[in-house]
Each structure stands twice: as structure tokens, then as C-alpha cells.
Amino acid sequence: MTLRGRGRIVFWPGGSVWIGRAEGTTDFHAHHALQITFAPRVRFREPDADWREYQAAVVPSNTPHAMDAAGQEVALVFAEPESLEGRAIHLRYHGAGVSSIASQPLAAEAAQLAAAYRRQEPDPALVLLARRIIAALAGMAPRPAAALDARISRAIDVVRERLDGTVSLGEVADAVGLSPDRFRHLFIEQTGVRFRPYVLWQRMERAVAEYAAGATLTDAAYAGGFADSAHFSRTFRRMFGLPAAALRIE
């Protein structure tokens, strides 16, 4: 197995930060979360396009891309598009493909995050600094984003509570007082994604968080509600462009 990356992964409700040294190039992949990327030199490629080089970039939700940051220290900050700040960023970058962002306004936050990682500061410190990056980028949006409908916000909580088992659209719709058809349409309207892909992303986040905390791939897969480690690994490769086993958590 080729080593593709070594570092730390830390989650919080609505986001995560992946930081460390990258090795190799990912395959084409797409994920539900917005990705904010910082590196001395990182290249992205979209289907039917050439490689482009960045120091700071945003990958919008569900944007197919490949990434090459071989030998570089890279920080990937993920934000769910359903969060208030994620919605502000989504409004600005949705449909734009991989986009360069002016590194200067975020340079201080990115440098502080990198320094905290090198000093091996505890997880809460990394979370605080990563969330500052998200907040700063959201603040650059041209207009404020509206909050999620309260019923969809509650539905997201219900999904997270049930990830280790079956999560059906009908049961979640019932839990928030909507018919399945109305819930299906309102969920897409509010989040921009269908219900099943959203649940799959939540399962992936749960499984990766368990793996980062020291669980085996098999135990992490079960924690996220995957049938087995092979199912988890296939889904991970499709979403991140590399095998889950290629990650090395510090």
C-alpha cells in the first residue's frame, strides 16, 4: 500500500480539519463538504481540464477533482454546506469549480493552524483555528446566508443520532412532522443535496472520526453504519480519491 498522507484529523459538529504531509496524487473524487485548502504548493485538476497550481483554494460541495500536494504540508478544512457559515461560502463558490482564494486575508489564520499542528497542540486548539478560517472566509461572502429551516436542522440532528443503524427518509420525515414527499423536496431545497447522499457523507464522517481516534478500519466502518470495512474503503476512495488504509494518523 502506497503511503498517501500522514497527519491529524479532528472533527467537530459541522466540520473537520485534516492537516499533515501529503504523499502522492489522489484519483478524481467528490465529497459533500466544502474544502478549504492551504499549502505552499498544491495542484488541482478537474475532469477535462489541466492541472492548476494554488496556495489557497476552495473546492465547492460535490465538485469532482484530483489533488496533488506531494511532499507538502497541507491543511484541508472541511465545512458542511448546511452550517450557517458553510451556506455563506456555498453561495459564493457553488458551481465555480475549484477556485483560488486570496491567501492574504486568511494568511494569519492558516499560519497559526500550521504552527499549532507542528507544536502538537491538542485537538481543541486545532478546531478553534480551523473554525476561524471558515468564519473568515464566510465573512468575505457578498451577502449573509439564511439559517436552515428548523425542521431540516432537526432532521440533521436525527440523522446523526441514528448513524450506527438504519436511517430511512420516512422515519426522519416523521420525526420532524413532515410527509416523506414534502421532506424530500424541502431537504433538497435547503441543503442542495439528496437525502441518501447526505446520510452517506455523515456515515463517512463518523467512520473517519473513529479511525482517527484509533479504531481499526473494521470497527470504524461499523461505527459509521457501513456493512463492513470493504464497503467503507470503497466509499472512502470514491469520496477522497485514495484508500482509507493509506492514511496514517499521528
Kindly give the confidence (pLDDT) of every residue in the chain, 250 residues in length, as a single tens digit, with 9 standing for 90 and above: 233 567 899 988 788 999 999 887 899 999 989 999 999 999 999 999 999 999 999 999 999 999 999 888 999 999 988 887 888 898 888 888 999 987 667 888 999 999 999 999 999 999 999 999 999 998 865 555 567 899 999 999 999 999 888 899 999 999 999 999 999 999 988 877 789 988 988 999 899 889 888 899 899 999 999 989 899 988 988 888 877 877 777 6
pLDDT at 183 (0 to 100): 96
pLDDT at 127 (0 to 100): 93
Could you give the CA distance from residue 55 to residue 42 in angstroms, rounded to a whole number? 6
Could you give the CA distance from residue 213 to residue 8 in angstroms, rounded to a whole number? 10
pLDDT at 191 (0 to 100): 79
**φ, ψ for residue 120, nearest 5 deg:** 55, 40
Could you give the CA distance from residue 250 to residue 100 in angstroms, rounded to a whole number? 29
> CB of 10 within 8 A of CB of 123?
yes
Which ranges constitute the DSSP H helices of the chain?
Answer: 84-93, 103-118, 123-139, 150-161, 169-175, 180-191, 195-212, 217-223, 229-240
List residues bridging with 11 in a β-sheet.
16
pLDDT at 141 (0 to 100): 57
pLDDT at 107 (0 to 100): 87
List residues bridging with 66 in a β-sheet.
45
pTM score over 0.85 = no
Residue 234 CB contacts under 8 Å (≥ 6 apart), including other chains:
none
pLDDT at 250 (0 to 100): 67
Residue 11 CB contacts under 8 Å (≥ 6 apart), including other chains:
205, 208, 209, 212
pLDDT at 3 (0 to 100): 38
Q: What is the pLDDT of residues 80-136, one digit of tens each?
A: 888 878 888 988 888 889 999 876 678 889 999 999 999 999 999 999 999 999 999
Could you give the CA distance from residue 118 to residue 21 in angstroms, rounded to a whole number? 11
pLDDT at 1 (0 to 100): 27
Residue 84 CB contacts under 8 Å (≥ 6 apart), including other chains:
138, 145, 147, 148
Residue 39 is inside which H or E element, if any?
strand 34-45
Could you give the CA distance from residue 229 to residue 227 in angstroms, rounded to a whole number? 7
